[in-house]
């Protein structure tokens, strides 16, 4: 079985972290990081025994023969020799220190050399004992921030972003479906409900031979530890730390079991109460009237037994979905196929990895009618933001490109930084020349909620602004994001015709589902964009659509389900 690309990328990043702590050549560190990113972007798993794989990897920009060989080594063995050698000099746990905001390689090296800290637990202990503040480049303020970050990290510990978990889970499903007699196999739990991060994977299989399925799981090459091993169930931990729980059920119980193990717990309790009111018992084995099973082969049967239509999995959080189903008010949720264009992407003109033409042609191949190119503005120095002259040059190139494109149009755009005082990082003349203007916050996250609200509202009132991109600026598990009066910001957006974005980048998914639903209920129009920095990132649209579905969004709520002409009517309403 192939190893998940996410696992290969994880080991390459760990090697890069240890090299950086060692103060190794920065070009070597960057090469490992770029290779990890490239592997993650691959559409298919790396197949080690394919004769063409080495040449294909070598051809990817920034990888080359040496790193291609290391990628194949991981794909074949699940390990990396150079990483094991590095770990003899720098404990592998030290790499985790760099996951804490404010601790880069230099500070991680200081923690290792001066305090011999090699784990997050040791870091927390030292911070509580006030031993960090006296280290160079630390101080009392950073010590306090580290403690706050570690407290937040505990909530996200051992959780994977949904797209990463998908790579592990989908390979496992293929592995288990190969067992003779398996008729169905699905991932249930919070993964199936499309939660943004996953603590573990619940896999459900329908098969008459439970022992064969269980044995197939525990012999999976990526299993590091077997936690439980029975005749119809098993629990294992993968090398990544991800726990996988397996249940094997009979075909006639699969629908009931899928509903039960998908959850959520609150949704299941509400369903069981509805069943009890009808004299029914609903559990993972089926729906029973007394001792007689009356339903359970499919999920539709389970819902029908209590008088409900099938409720989409994304809505099963006990947030009103049962009442809506009872009253025939369930929304027809937006689908990936409804999306007609992508409204945020970056090119090599700023911090993207593919050119303007390459991004446009890739979007056309996806069947899109339009693509907004939205490179950064000058204040985002690390992203190589464009100034007025840079955008004007890009606009001319877009005009030329559009002449040759068929069935698609590239929109001239920008992701404009909102400065600390709420003004925009681009002059009004350039803003007015653009087709679509996104604004976003990339700094000053520590402003008070009142100051942050004032800053954002001022930006949204600018007559050229069309979309508020990744509104909170959060990074899941790494940065909480800005705090502001959400109602006031949504009110300003709707009043001034500004759309709110659901950013599909896996570490963003911003707006979150709860905030997105609240915005829709307030009358806001949303966009779903990939924030793509490469051709491969354009496939991230899937994750944003799932997030919007959890927010009860319909196609009518999403601006980029419209035709180009219909979408253009939403732009620059006050210009």
CATH code of the domain containing 489: 3.20.20.140
Co-location of 227 and 269 in the same domain:
yes
The verdict on residue 397 lying in a domain is yes
The verdict on residue 70 lying in a domain is yes
| pLDDT given for residue 575 in this prediction | 42
**What angle, 0 to 180 degrees and rounded to 10, lies between the N-to-C axes of helices 541-550 and 162-177?**
100
DSSP 8-state secondary structure symbol assigned to residue 510: B
Work out the number of other CB atoms within 10 angstroms of the CB of residue 258: 24
Spell 363-402 as b/e; 16+ CB within 10 A means b: bbeeebbbbbbbbbbbbbeebbbbeeebbeebbebbeebe
Co-location of 165 and 150 in the same domain:
no
Using only C-alpha atoms, what is the Rg of the chain? 25
Co-location of 42 and 179 in the same domain:
no
Question: Which parts of the chain have pLDDT scores under 70?
Answer: 1, 50-51, 153-158, 573-575
The verdict on residue 575 lying in a domain is no
| pLDDT given for residue 205 in this prediction | 98
The verdict on residue 496 lying in a domain is yes
The verdict on residue 460 lying in a domain is yes
Encode pLDDT of 465-519 as tens digits: 999 999 999 999 878 889 999 999 999 999 999 999 999 999 999 999 999 999 9
CATH number of the domain within which 106 lies? 1.10.150.110
Q: Are 468 and 435 in contact (CB under 8 A)?
A: no
The verdict on residue 378 lying in a domain is yes
Number of domains making up the chain: 3
Co-location of 150 and 203 in the same domain:
no
Co-location of 416 and 530 in the same domain:
yes
The verdict on residue 573 lying in a domain is no
Co-location of 190 and 126 in the same domain:
no
Co-location of 460 and 321 in the same domain:
no
The verdict on residue 574 lying in a domain is no
Encode pLDDT of 197-241 as tens digits: 999 999 999 999 999 999 999 999 889 999 999 999 999 999 888
Co-location of 359 and 483 in the same domain:
yes
| pLDDT given for residue 145 in this prediction | 87
DSSP 8-state secondary structure symbol assigned to residue 119: S
Co-location of 199 and 300 in the same domain:
yes
Co-location of 258 and 397 in the same domain:
no
In 442-482, at which residue ranges do the beta strands (DSSP E only) sit? 467-468
State which residues form the domain around 232: 161-326
Co-location of 377 and 525 in the same domain:
yes
CATH number of the domain within which 209 lies? 3.30.460.10
Q: Are 561 and 340 in contact (CB under 8 A)?
A: yes
Integer Cα distance of 413 and 340 in angstroms: 17
Co-location of 152 and 192 in the same domain:
no
| pLDDT given for residue 48 in this prediction | 74
| pLDDT given for residue 156 in this prediction | 55
DSSP 8-state secondary structure symbol assigned to residue 551: T
Integer Cα distance of 523 and 517 in angstroms: 10
Phi, psi of 319 (to 5 degrees): -115, 35
């Amino acid at each position: 079985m192939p190893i998940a690309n996410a696992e290969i990328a994880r080991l390459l990043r760990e090697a890069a972290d240890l090299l950086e702590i060692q103060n190794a050549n920065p070009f070597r560190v960057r090469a490992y990081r770029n290779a990890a990113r490239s592997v993650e972007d691959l559409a298919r798993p790396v197949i080690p025994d394919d004769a063409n794989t080495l040449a294909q990897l070598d051809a990817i920009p920034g990888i080359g023969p040496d790193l291609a060989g290391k990628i194949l080594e991981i794909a074949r063995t699940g390990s990396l020799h150079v990483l094991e050698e590095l770990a003899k000099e720098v404990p592998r746990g030290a790499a985790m220190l760099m996951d804490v905001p404010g601790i880069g390689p230099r500070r991680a090296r200081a923690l290792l050399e001066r305090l011999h800290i090699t784990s997050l637990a040791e870091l927390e202990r030292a911070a509580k004992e006030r031993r960090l503040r006296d280290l160079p480049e630390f101080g009392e303020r950073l010590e306090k921030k580290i403690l706050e970050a570690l407290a937040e990290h505990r909530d996200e510990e051992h959780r994977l972003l949904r797209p990463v978990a998908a790579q592990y889970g989908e390979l496992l499903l293929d592995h288990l479906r190969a067992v003779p007699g398996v008729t169905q196999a699905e991932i249930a739990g919070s993964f199936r409900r499309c939660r943004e991060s996953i603590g573990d994977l619940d896999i459900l299989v329908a098969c008459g031979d439970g022992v064969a399925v269980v044995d197939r799981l525990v012999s999976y090459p990526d299993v590091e530890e077997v936690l439980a091993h029975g005749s119809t169930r098993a629990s294992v931990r993968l090398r990544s730390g991800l726990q996988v729980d397996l249940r094997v059920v009979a075909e006639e119980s699969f629908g009931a079991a899928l509903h039960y193990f998908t959850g959520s717990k609150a949704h299941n309790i509400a369903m069981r109460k509805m069943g009890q009111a009808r004299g029914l018992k609903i559990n993972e084995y089926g729906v029973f009237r007394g001792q007689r099973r009356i339903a359970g082969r499919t999920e539709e049967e389970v819902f029908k037994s209590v008088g409900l239509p099938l409720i989409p999995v994304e809505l099963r959080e006990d947030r009103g979905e049962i009442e809506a189903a009872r009253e025939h008010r369930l929304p027809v949720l937006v689908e990936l196929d409804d999306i007609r264009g992508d409204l945020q992407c970056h090119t090599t003109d700023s911090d993207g990895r593919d050119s303007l033409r390459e991004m446009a042609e890739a979007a056309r191949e996806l069947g899109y009618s339009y693509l907004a190119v939205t490179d950064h503005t000058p204040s985002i120095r690390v992203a190589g933001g464009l100034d007025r002259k840079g955008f004007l040059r890009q606009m001319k190139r877009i005009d030329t490109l559009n002449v040759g494109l068929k069935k698609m149009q590239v929109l001239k755009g920008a992701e404009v930084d909102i400065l600390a005082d709420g003004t925009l990082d681009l002059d009004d003349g350039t803003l007015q020349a653009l087709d679509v203007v996104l604004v976003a916050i990339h700094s000053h996250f520590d402003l008070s909620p009142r100051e942050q609200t004032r800053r954002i509202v001022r930006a949204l009132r600018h007559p050229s602004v069309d979309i508020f991109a990744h509104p909170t600026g959060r990074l899941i598990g790494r940065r909480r994001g800005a705090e502001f009066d959400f109602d006031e910001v949504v009110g300003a957006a709707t009043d001034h015709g500004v759309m709110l974005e659901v950013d599909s980048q896996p570490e963003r998914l911003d707006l979150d589902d709860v905030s997105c639903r609240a915005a829709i209920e307030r009358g806001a129009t949303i966009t779903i964009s990939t924030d793509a920095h490469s051709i491969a990132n354009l496939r991230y649209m899937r994750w944003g659509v799932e997030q919007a579905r959890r927010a009860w969004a319909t196609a009518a709520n999403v601006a980029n389900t419209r035709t180009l002409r219909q979408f253009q009517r939403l732009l620059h309403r006050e210009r």
